Structure formats: structure tokens, C-alpha cells
Structure 1
Amino acid sequence: MKCTKEYRLSYTDRAKKIVEKMTLEEKVYLMSGKVSLKDLINDEANGNHYNYVPYPAGGNERLGVPEMKFCDGPRGAVQGNSTCFPVSMARGATFDTDLEERIGRAIGREIRAHGGNLFGGVCINLPYNPGWGRSQETYGEESFHIGQMGSALVRGVQEENVIACIKHFAFNSMERSRFKVNVTADKRTEREVYLSHFKDCIDAGAASVMSAYNLYQGKHCGHNDYLLNKVLKGEWDFDGFVISDFFLGVRDTVEAANAGMDIEMCHTLYFGDKLIKAVKEGKVSEDRINDAAIRIARTLLAFTEADDKEHSKDVISCKEHIE
């Protein structure tokens, strides 16, 4: 895998020099999604399903920073008529990490053919609630197993120079009440049961993380300084960027920015002008904005420049992938 953490970090100085040339507005723009709810509704009205094309965020044409182009999953690339693999729960039942890595490579190739560069389909939640309607999107109910299968998908996707985004960080295991449920756990349960598989995937090289909607210990996960800054970026030394779950993953400009959120997806409701104003008022430091911008620029440049292949659309739903 070319886009290892070591390789990505080799872009740090270049990313810093680019960010130094940016205005505050340009840096904050890197942290901003570009697809509105109206856009999604119009897509459906025109017969195109959710995420029919990659969803863009950020980018800076003046300084050569590519857009982040989000492609959802987990049954394959959501775009167009891509190959539809079995649900993650079925793949998890095989406990075949070699096969899962091959599936990841196939998904990565199809995402590149669609013009995307990030796969948001590495779902590694632990389904504590038996009524969770999306439990089939994860691999099983045991932390070690989930960590091994998720790591295999990360390796496969990133082998094709597509950023693997693991989700939803963390303690997400219900759907209808996910916006309001407050999860609590003692430290041992937190580390041994709910966070260990996320750490496995970070150690495997995952370059992006999506926060969860729910609260943990009274704080929304997208505003959670403990989860994002202290554990993920501090203890685990994560070098990539954090994106929010769509639309309601960020609910407060200052809290989210200071807690380590790097990109608000998929539309800008709380970042953008509100974040620029918060920086000018001293509520968010420009150092925090610089850190986010460097993480974003470094990761996107590393993956884009590592990708030296032609990506024909013939690979989408090709015979090899279907077999």
C-alpha cells in the first residue's frame, strides 16, 4: 500500500507551505461540504439516487489542493450502477480477511472510475441494540472480529489510492434515536469493547474518520474533544482528517471546531462564514484552522499523487468484480 501513514506524513511540509499561502477564508473553505439538502432533493426528483455522483468538499484550485469527493457504501461504491457486494454482515460471516481486502480493492477501483477519492463505507459500529436497522452494515458483534475485517477493507480500498473513511466514531448502534441518545460507558468497556476496533483500523492506516450523531458522556460525538482530540488525534496519533455525518453531525460552530472536527459534511451549516466569524472573534484559534487545513491538504495530495493509473469506466460492474 503506497499511501501508508509514513508516506502521507512526507507531505506535511508541502501542505504547511500551501496553507501558509491561504487566506483564512480559503482555509475554512477546505473544511466545508458543498452539497445542500436542496441538491439532494433535486437529484432524486431527476431520477438519480443518493450519492449518484461523488459529493465534493473543499479544494483549492489556486494552490492545487484537490477536492475531497465522497463516495458512500458499504456494499460497494454507491455511485451509478456499481458492483453490489453482499452486506458487510454476510462478508463478516466468512471471517475471510483476504477476500475482504480483494473486495476493498474492487471498490477502490470503481470509486476512482467514478472520479471519487474517498470511500465512506467502512462501517465498524458494534450493534449493541438488536433493533438497529443498519446492523447488516457492520461485520458482527465482536470487537476483534470487526477490527480485523474493517482493517482488511481499509487496506484494500487504500491500495487503490482511495481514502478509507471509518465510521461512525463512536458508540453508534441505533437509528431512530441516534440524534438524541446519550451513551455512557466505564473506561474498560469503552476501550475493550467500543473503541478497540476503531483503533485497529487506525493502526491499519485509515486516513479518515466520520463522527457519529449520538452523544457520548453528554457530548455530541462531532463536538467531543475527548474522542476526537484526546483519543483519536492524541493517543492514537491519527494523521488524517475527521468528517461529520451528514447535515446534523455538527450542531455548534465553536464546539465542533475546537473539538477537532475538520470537515462539515455534506453541506455547510455551521462552518463557512460562521467559522470565519468565530475565528475573528477569538472563539476558535487560527492554529486550529491551520491544523485542519494541513490534515486535509496533506491527505488529499498524498492520495491524488500516488494514483498513477488510468481509470476506465469499464471496470464498473465488470465481470471480475461481479464474480
Structure 2
Amino acid sequence: MALNYTSGTTSSPKGVVHCHRGLFIITVSSLIDWSIPNQTVFLWTLPMFHANGWSYSWGMAAVGGTNICLRKVDLPIIYSLIKQHGVTHICGAPVVLNMLSSVPSTKPLDRPVKILTSGASPPAAVLLRTESLGFVVSHSYGLTETAGFVVSCAWKSQWNTLADTERARLKARQGVRTIGLADMDVVHPETGMSVKHDGQSQGEIVFRGGSIMLGYLKDQEGSSLCMRDNDWFYTGDIGVVHSDGYLEIKDRSKDVIISGGENLSSAEVESVLYMNPAINEVALVAQRDKFWGRGPVLL
């Protein structure tokens, strides 16, 4: 039904093949997980070519929703359209959340707007700022190969009594599997065994379910490298599982910086730096180092 291109875990563009059945599963699952009502007013800050708009390209039609489209992500236009059309739902990567909440003069919304974020792990500080403006943030995780988000940070009512910073920290975790996913696990890269659910033992995140791609177009070798062990999809993402069963991404395997034999998580360092109010946006990358081999550098 659809062919979506992604760099995946190797930075080499690959055509991800999805069938009708898989896209139907992810669409229904995404509507249910985010509790999408009929006649939703959906603002497209998310490009529709990103995993078919995380399945909401079809999902909005299924619930009779109204699509509000943008030519580019422009903050004044976004806030104007939210007010003009009574927008109820928005999807966007963490960078969009950062943009929405980084202008000091921005006034809180007249009424709450639900926003779903996915992609890179959103820093807790960005989540906190975004919700202070009246956005109700939900956090999810998926890849082009899964046709959309298959993990969701299911919110527990008892967390509402926690301090703001603690709520933001919990919401920064990716969460538990959605109904469209059969299995989720974090496994040791060498043994393939599940890691301990202690929030510290790291491994590769793997999925199995109906919305997983059929494979990469005309790339049997690439497909076999990530689809193995009885249809498990190996994501290339590094994560941990907490004692309550919630998944948290630590980094992509290709982004882990190995310096002097130590593994440095770029995402984890960035999350700490975002807690400084003087920092608006930051990225940690590797550079050659004569002594350590590789070392981190901030952009």
C-alpha cells in the first residue's frame, strides 16, 4: 500500500514496504491509544511523509476529522491557526515542542491542545515548558519500519500528584507497547537474552507485530539483518526497561560515542544540558581525539 524511505540504522536510504493490513492495524491502534474523538481538528506540523503522518493521514478520515495544513513550521501562524480553527490535536517531533515553548513572550493557550511527540527522546525540560503553556503532551515511539508509533507512555493518574520535574522525567520515557504490537523487548546484543528490568541494563530494542514492515524494497540483505529470530525487528536503538515495565531509549546504536572504551549516550548528555534554562537547543556528536580515539563535542 505504501513505500516510505528512511535512513534506518545504517544511514543508507531504504524503501520500507508496508501492506494494507499492517497500515490498517497501526491506524486503528493509533486512534485508540491517543483517544482520538470524532470530528477532531488536527494541525499538521508533522510532515505527512514521516511514516504517513504517523498513520493519521488515514486516521483523520476515519474519525471525520478536519485537517489544518501548513507550508512550513512557523510559530505565529501555528498559534494563529490554533485559535482560529479551534485545533484540538497536533503531532510533532521534540524539536517542534522546543520551538513552541522557546519564545519567552508566548502566552498560555485559551484551552488545552493535545500534542503527540515522537522521534528523538524529548528532554524533560522541554516537556515541562511545553505543558506550562497549556499543551497536553503525550509521548510515543516508533519507526518508519513499524508504520508509526508502537510504544506509548501510558499515563497513570497517581503521577499527577508528583512534582513538575518528576512528571516530566516520567513522561520522557517511551512507555509500554500499544495494542497493535504483539511483543516488545530489550535484548543483549550478543546473547539475544532479555536485559534486566532495572532501568540500567542496556540492550537493543526489538519488536514483533502486525504493523511491522514486509521488508526493504529490493534489499534482501538489509531486510535479513534487521528482521530475524522469528520475525523480530531489531531497531538499532539502545534502551532500558524500568521495574514498572516502561521502556526508555538511551540512544541509537550509531549515535553512541565510544571514548576510551566507555560508551557515552549522546541523548542522555543532551537531556541533562537541556535542564539549563540558558540552553535552547543542543546536539552532542563525536569527533576524532588523538588520546581517546573519539570524544564528544557540543554543537
TM-score with structure 1 length normalisation? 0.29
The structure with the larger Rg is 2
More helix per residue: 1 or 2? 1
